[in-house]
Structure 1
Amino acid sequence: MASKSALSMVERLQEVKKSSNKSYSQIAAETGLTNVYVAQLLRRQAHLKPETVPKLRAALPELTDDLISEMMRPPFRSFDPDLLQEPSIYSMSAIDFYCSVDKISGVDGKDRVVVTFDGKYLPYTEQKSEHMLSRPRN
């Protein structure tokens, strides 16, 4: 569970976004990030890289130095034991993973949502000692 100070930090970041009157997609377009990653950054669930700071500051000028410093710290993570029981989710690598949420116009002219998950799938591997290269072979 995140601490009270962590929650207030997220609230401050969300207030900066709200006062900008920009969507996550608009901020993403200005920074070269995906809209989901921008949302993660502004919820302290992703790590802000130094090379991205100028772009994010340009997109959200109200970001203060203390908010930027906090965003560059390791992100907040949560633990859900039920998630670990789902094999297709558990095997999806977040190391090489992209996600985007986009709004498109359907054939009837109504708004539709497209959620794209683009990640490396890691199959389960049976760990046999004979495959362990650091062990001497007899």
Structure 2
Amino acid sequence: MTSMNNAEYLTRLKYADEFEKLRADKKKKGFTFKELAEKLGVSKMWIASVFDGQQYVPEEYAKKLTALLDLPADSLAFLTEHPYKGNTDPILYRLHEVIDTYGPAIKAIIHEEGGNAIMSAIDFGLDVDVITDDAGNHRVIIKMDGKLLPYAKKGTYPW
């Protein structure tokens, strides 16, 4: 199975038909997002983003929405899956945030300790573990292991 890229997750291809039907069912019932939000006890922005596949919906809300739209039981169970959000999934966003925050420091240390070089993403290893620390907190450990590649010094300086 080929994994989906972010764009495919954003358009929710996996549930495109289900979301189209959900929007049609809302329209058929004549609900506005504001009305649905009031009946569910949520914000109208949140419920509107549900219809775009951008929210995880707790099971109790999926069941309430099913009842409001007079749909068969569990017909909206797909809403209880965690979606990719915005332009990237929350986990991927955090990884980008880590690189945005610590990337310049990583670069500085690579240059300080490895010289005028970069880290290979081809000759590269990656491992992820979830552990429990002494305080009982779950921690994510990510190890990246890339070959140090000195910049080539071919041609006339500055190359």
Provide the TM-score with structure 2 as the length reference: 0.44
Tell which structure's C-alpha radius of gyration is larger: 2
Provide the TM-score with structure 1 as the length reference: 0.49
- Greater per-residue helix proportion: 2
